[in-house]
A and B are shown apart, each in its own frame.
Chain A
Amino acid sequence: MTAVGNLTHEPVEGDRFTITSEGTGDTWEIVVGLEVHCELATATKLFCGCPNHFGAEPNTNVCPVCLGLPGSLPVLNQNVVELAMRLGRALHCTVEPSVFARKNYFYPDMPKDYQVSQYDQPINVDGWLDLPDGTRVGIERAHIEEDTGKNTHAGGSGRIHGADYSLVDYNRAGVPLVEIVGRPHIRHPEQAKAYIDELRAILLATGASDAKMEEGSLRVDANVSVRRVGDATLGTRCEIKNLNSLRSLGRAIEYEARRQVDLLESGERVHQETRHWDEAAGRTRPGRSKEEAEDYRYFQEPDLVPLEPSAEWVAAVDAALPVLPAERRARLAEAAGVDPTETAVVVAVQRDLDSLALAAIGAGGDGRRVLTHVEHNLAVEGAESLDPAHFAQLVTMEVAGQLTATQAKAVLTDMVATGKAPDAIAAERGFEAMDTSQLEGIIDGIIAESPQEWAEFCGGDDKRRGKLQGFFVGKVMKATKGQADGKAVNAVLEARRAAAG
């Protein structure tokens, strides 16, 4: 990895995850940078015409190039460049002239004994990714490299340590990857998970990758360090590998941060090393000590010429970029008149219901209520085919007091299931707006039945009053079989109390 240059984009701090020591009382914060490898969704491998296909019979997608047989020559796949640039531009990177290098090492996962990667001149540099919480995480680079073959450790324990021998399948050797190197701007395990979620959404939207963590087409390593809050310099970091799910990622970061704080608090040092996450044991363990970059003896790949995408190609990539999640959140938030970091906005985009919500708001539906339904009541199949005009009509009926929140939810469920209009469903279900005088009559009756509670409600302290408010609302709901509007009930109770006082 190249040295981290000056930050060009300052991170906007979201919530920090801090650890306060019981011993010294010092407060520590975590600093995380993520490195993500993702397999590109091409038809063929990076440098040969073998299929890029997960799950084929072992060693059936191989040829002289990806087996490193003498005399074979690599030729770069144009679609790899296209997809890498799409991802890079979606991450606000600059596309630079780039070259390929050989990373030399002896391990049976690469038959050539080197991996072709971009080293000191990567294709995409210096971008950023905005998280839903508003944090901007810098992207140092997003470069192209080839994947390795797959080793299966046999005999012994089945793990690498204690294995008697290994079996190697080269179907994955030479599959195109982009490695996205994030800057250490993450301060919370939840932010790390949100970063991967957001990156995955971008990979899917751009068609660059299918981004399946469980199939290994998206793999995450986390560089974790800690420092006392207020310290400007970064602590010594450890690189955590073997993170197979978002859950593992969050747990591993928290575990590793606590381990480092314990070390530092007891006067020891953190050793820069690679550590492996053990999900079952819930801890990290030291792996192989990291080789010096010079041990890889990087040098330019003599069989490949430089890559210099033209300005026209980059412009064409830009023009074809889809609307990205951050932009979709901004559009929806603006239409609804809310903040783009609101959970309902984030959820609407995640569930691909933002265009429905926008259309409903455009048809006159109240933005806040539309979002509330999307967040809480539309996590159901078929929600995306809801008629936006019907959705707007439902929300308008609710705002006008013709339906309570509970009734509106029931009507919405029927709308998704049947496609009928909300007024028709409300009539079928017998949901009729209770007029105010009817409600007042019911409430007055209840007050008369409970003089003791009413006196306390009128004269008691806030806590007691809050309790009795629940008592009276419950009685009204019981009397009306839940059809009364909670807001209207509270308003009548308040008016009666003011009159009594």
Chain B
Amino acid sequence: MSDRLTRDDVAKVAHLARLELTDAELDTYTEQLGAVLDHAADVAALDLADVPPTAHPLPLVNVLRDDVVAACLDREEVLAQAPAVEDGRFRVPAILGEEP
């Protein structure tokens, strides 16, 4: 089992992602995520001074589109999937203290 990651770390990340985990799941993910970090540490241990960082696996840059307006979705269709709607807007629960 890795010592790079504690059960508390996993609980914190789960909270940030709004995931509710059982104690058993916390144990499982602590172990599995620890293995991922161990693997990353193996790569980090290599001498890669001459290797440029990879931003993306595809050998592509500058994928761009022209600034031309395209069709939007119909509002009724958009809102039809929402649990609650008011005045053409999505109605969501009040959220306190989490304004970004």
Contacts and interface: CB of A to CB of B under 8 A. Distances in A.
Whether both chains belong to one complex is answered with: yes
A60 B68 contact: no
B73 A297 contact: no
A306 B94 contact: no
A166 B61 contact: no
Contact of A60 (B64, B75, B87): B75
Interface stretch (B32-40, B41-49, B52-60): B52-60
Q: What is the size category of the interface that chain B forms with chain A?
A: 35 or more
B67 A79 contact: yes
A105 B79 CA distance: 23
Given A76-B63, A77-B65, A305-B63, A107 B100 contact: yes
Nearest to A42: B67
Interface of B: 13, 16-18, 55-56, 58, 60-73, 75, 78-79, 86-100
7 contacts: A42-B67, A60-B75, A75-B65, A148-B100, A288-B99, A305-B56, A306-B56
Contacts of B56: 99, 300, 302, 305-306
A167 B72 contact: no
Interface residues of A, number: 61
A108 interface: yes
Contact of A78 (B61, B64, B92): B64
A75 B65 CA distance: 6
Contacts of B94: 153, 155-156, 160, 163-166
Decide if the interface of chain A is mainly helix, strand, loop or mixed.
Answer: loop
Interface stretch (A46-54, A177-185, A448-456): A46-54
Nearest 9 pairs of A and B residues by beta carbon: A49-B70, A79-B67, A167-B89, A78-B64, A58-B88, A168-B90, A108-B92, A75-B65, A305-B60
Nearest to A75: B65
A163 B98 CA distance: 13
Contact of A300 (B16, B55, B75): B55
A309 interface: yes
A51 B72 contact: yes
